[in-house]
Amino acid sequence: MSFSRMKAVYIQDSVETEDVLVCDIFLNDDRSVREMEIFGYAIDDDEKWPIYIKPKSGEGVLHWGAGEVDTDSTVNLFQKNIRVGEYITRVDTCDGERSEYTYRITEIFDWSQLR
């Protein structure tokens, strides 16, 4: 198991944007994410927000300041093998409407490399 920082960039119309999700995760030997609370930050429309992701029923419930008050957000981080180039999806649900946002993992830094 390794403790790593993952950076994923929001993809819109097949183009990387400036919006990112960055979080510190424990990676299991099979590169899946250990189910636990995860902390990090998001940059959304040039604003930086603290985030935390809590596992629930195999999904990650995403809590962050950028979301609308009545919006529930999830991210499928716990269902993926974490590798550069892999895609993850954030889903926002508000008033019965569902919006999906795709991110591509661009960096994974293993904190043990700091020795």
- Given the structure tokens 């043990």, which residue do they identify? 112
Give pLDDT, residue 68: 64
- Given the structure tokens 């892999």, which residue do they identify? 86
CA–CA dist 75, 100 (Å, integer): 10
Residue 4 has, within 13 A of its CA and on its CB side, a CA count of 21
Q: What does pTM read for this prediction? A: 0.90
Encode pLDDT of 62-94 as tens digits. 998 766 678 899 999 999 999 999 999 999 998
Domains of the chain plus CATH, in order, are 2-114 (2.40.160)
Give pLDDT, residue 6: 97
Span of 10-19, 61-70, 103-112 with lowest mean pLDDT: 61-70
Give pLDDT, residue 66: 62
Which among 62, 64, 87, 84 is positioned nearest to 73, based on CA atoms?
A: 62
Give pLDDT, residue 67: 62
Encode pLDDT of 28-62 as tens digits. 999 999 999 999 999 999 999 999 999 999 899 99
